[in-house]
Chains A and B, each alone.
Chain A
């Protein structure tokens, strides 16, 4: 199994997922963006995206998809609920990308990424407002739970924990105490620490 990876990108989420399932793998470390032309990566994924996971004849992209794929592929890691009990598991997996991430991306574009002349303070403010509203829902949910699914860590915590890292870098977690405590909890896992090592 091969994971095409660039440090400090979304690919960290997939490396973290890989460390959680403790599967033997080859980590192909590429410099972003100039090494995305790597021939092995292009052969598996002509778009040259990271993360890309290659497992025999299966090629997986999208960090949330890679996380869920690995949890199912390595059931001994016990990071996915039984097949008939996945209502909350899938809900949170989709919620992060659909409800939380668009606001975060919009905020990032209009405060950091775009050239100053193209940034819109109005769009940044609206994104922050939307993000706060959605993160408030997560905060309420975590008030009485250690992890998204309750007492037990699961793969959806890798998905949320990864996105929160990005929010934290933009100082967007202030005031959400349950989220912050949760973030600290998931980021102190040895698998996460291994995922950010050189």
Chain B
């Protein structure tokens, strides 16, 4: 199994799942600044030219959320995914993070760090922060009475939620959410989280 990977990116999510499941995998480091993602060979794997991409035999999976859920269903069923008739919270929060909450994180990141200074728009940051707060509150309320997204058991949905919160925390956006910071600390104490984050890959 190969994971096309760049450090400090969404690639760490599937890597975290791979570590949780104890699977063997090879990391293919991608240098995004050098444009590895736009090479014709990679474009065949993902025409969107985004990492991560997982190659599992002849199967190719793009989108970090999809890779995480795929791995959880494909390997060691039952370990990281709930039973098929109990997936309400599992799907709900997986998509909520991916389709809704993360857009604000991207917007804040772009307009505070990534874009050249003259293109940054403070009003877009302010708007995104306001929306982000409402959305973090939804996650905080859900976790107020639960250890994990699906109540008492860690699943791939926690990898997705935890990774987004991790990014929010790095940008200093969790200060008002003590419960979310506790949850994040719980996740970061997991050996698989640490293995997925500790080894920096040479080229990427």
- Please report A residues at the B interface, Cβ cutoff 8 Å: 46-47, 53, 55, 58-62, 64-66, 68-69, 72-73, 75, 83-84, 86-88, 90-91, 93-95, 97-99, 101-102, 134, 137, 140
Contacts and interface: CB of A to CB of B under 8 A. Distances in A.
Interface of B: 47-48, 56, 59-63, 65-67, 69-70, 73-74, 77, 84-89, 91-92, 94-96, 98-100, 103, 138, 141
22 contacts: A46-B141, A55-B88, A59-B88, A59-B92, A61-B96, A62-B99, A64-B91, A65-B94, A65-B96, A68-B87, A69-B87, A73-B87, A75-B84, A83-B77, A87-B56, A87-B70, A90-B65, A90-B70, A91-B61, A91-B63, A94-B95, A97-B98
B138 A47 contact: yes
A94 B87 contact: no
A13 to B, nearest CB: 12
B138 A98 contact: no
Contacts, number: 100
B85 A73 contact: yes
A86 B73 contact: yes
A101 B103 CA distance: 11
B85 A72 contact: yes
B95 A64 contact: yes
A86 B61 CA distance: 9
B127 to A, nearest CB: 12
Contact of A94 (B88, B96, B98, B141): B98
B87 A72 contact: yes
Contacts of A65: 88, 91-92, 94-96
Contact of A99 (B48, B92, B100): B48
Contacts of A47: 138
Contact of A91 (B66, B84, B88, B89): B66
Contacts of B73: 83-84, 86
Of A61, A88, A90, A99, most B-chain CB atoms within 10 Å: A90
